[in-house]
Amino acid sequence: MPALAVADALRTSGARVVFVGGDRAEADLVPRAGFEFRRIPVEGLDRSNPLRAIRAVAKSIAATFTAWKMIGRLRPAAVLGGGGYVAGPVGAAAVLRRVPLVLTEADSHFGLTNRLLAPFASKVCLAFPLEGRSAQRYIVTGRPIPPQAQDARVARERFGLSDEDQVVVVVGGSLGARSINEAALEAFADDSRLKVIHAAGERDFASLDERPRGANYQLFGYIDSFSEALLAADLVVSRAGGSVFEIAAAGRPAILVPYPHAAADHQAGNARWMEQAGAATVLDDGALSGARLADEVDRLLADPPLLAQMARASAAIARPDATGAVEAELRAAGGE
């Protein structure tokens, strides 16, 4: 999603953008956004299974050769690496072709791909300040996000909400978060006091949609204009991935439930960033239940001054210029 935000800004100003990716979410999201998409066969490194790790390394070597040929044909001015394992072969091929490489790190943990490629990059754009990453090639830009909705009244109207409604938005990511999905339904399915907008993710949507819930509970698999949902919210319940930057951009207080198995526990780091700023409270995934979530939501909604203070803190840590900053670094690396 950060790469799509930068790509959209580049396209708006006349650049041709080509994505290279694997078979995950990008294979659907990128063509849907109207960009060229080139697929390469590559997979993540499984450190717990030696055979799978060897297979992943072999695929990465083959993918690097594929990317090397692709870059030779496309002759890009610069290459942007998004930090995932697909970026490894493409970034390596850019270095071998002497094409300027810019990297982005969207989380509070510097991933393996970026650690390997950073010494060869023209610039590394960080979402958060990271210890030991303060040399000249590192710059803290924030995490690029899509253009955000600005009119809260219009956003509420889209979801059939009034100004007087108390609205909780629940989201776990594009695939979903089963613990949050289950806790939210348990907590709010029959709650007539609240209006709930729940983006459950495509994986769990069909089974959740069969469960009983009241008329105040709107369940979606995926919300296209996610920023409108955030703008309609009084409070957001979310994982602590890249969505924390969109929550901050909307200036919304949050209850964050970090995914406990994220690489290097980076979601816990993301959540601490918002918590330390006073913009969020953090719940442990292992202790999450419908009753626990309902209690925390009730506690915050019952204290409007605290909620307003959290909203101001959230807006204060937003980086609305992140997309433009990364675009500028990429253009500079490409010679513009």
- Residue pLDDT, tens place only, 240-255: 988 899 999 999 999 9
Tokens of 182: 């289950």
Question: Range with the lowest mean pLDDT among 61-65, 158-162, 273-277?
Answer: 61-65
pLDDT confidence tier of residue 44, bands split at 50, 70 and 90: confident
Predicted confidence at residue 241, as pLDDT, reads 87
pLDDT attached to residue 239: 93
List every span in the chain annotated with CATH 3.40.50.2000.
Answer: 2-146+320-333, 152-316
Whole-angstrom CA distances from 290 to 79, 202, 297 are 45, 21, 11
Counting residues of the chain whose pLDDT is more than 70, the rounded percentage is 98
Architecture of domain 2-146+320-333: 3-Layer(aba) Sandwich (3.40)
As a whole number of angstroms, the distance between CA 246 and CA 263 comes to 21
CA distances (Å), 222 to each of 6, 156, 197, 251, 279, in order? 21, 17, 11, 21, 25
Per-residue model confidence (pLDDT) at position 174 = 57
CA distance 290 to 270: 23
| Statement: residue 134 has pLDDT above 80 | no
Residue 336 pLDDT grade (very low, low, confident, very high; cuts 50, 70, 90): confident
Q: Report pLDDT digits (tens) over 104-125.
A: 998 887 888 899 999 999 999 9
**Residue 177 pLDDT:** 84
Q: Which of 41-55, 73-87, 176-190 has the lowest mean pLDDT?
A: 41-55
pLDDT(48) > 80: no
pLDDT-wise least confident of 3-12, 52-61, 157-166, 225-234? 52-61
The pLDDT score that the predictor gives to residue 264 is: 73
Handedness of CA 278, 280, 284, 287 (dihedral sign): positive
Name the average pLDDT for the chain: 90
pLDDT of residue 262: 77
Radius of gyration for the chain, computed over Cα atoms and rounded to the nearest angstrom:
21
> What's residue 296's pLDDT?
97
Across residues 234-239, what is the average pLDDT? 96
pLDDT surpassing 70 at residue 127 = yes
Contact 237, 220 (CB under 8 A): no
Mean pLDDT throughout 312-318? 96
Split at pLDDT 50, 70, 90, the class of 54 is confident
**Span 142-164, average pLDDT:** 93
152-316, which class in CATH? Answer: alpha beta
Rounded Cα distance between 29 and 297, Å, is: 32
Which tens digit of pLDDT belongs to each residue from 176-186? Answer: 588 999 999 99
Which of the two residues, 241 and 47, has the higher pLDDT score?
241
- Token reading at 152: 């809260």
Q: What integer pLDDT is reported at residue 246 of this predicted model?
A: 93
Please tell me the distance from the alpha carbon of residue 17 to that of residue 31, in angstroms, as a whole number.
Answer: 12
Mean pLDDT of the 48-66 span: 80
The residue ranking higher by pLDDT, 55 or 169, is 169
Q: Which residues contact 139 (CB under 8 A, 6 or more apart)?
A: 123, 124, 125, 126, 325, 329
How confident is the model at residue 279, as a pLDDT?
Answer: 97
Best CA proximity match to 198, nearest among 172, 175, 178, 174? 172
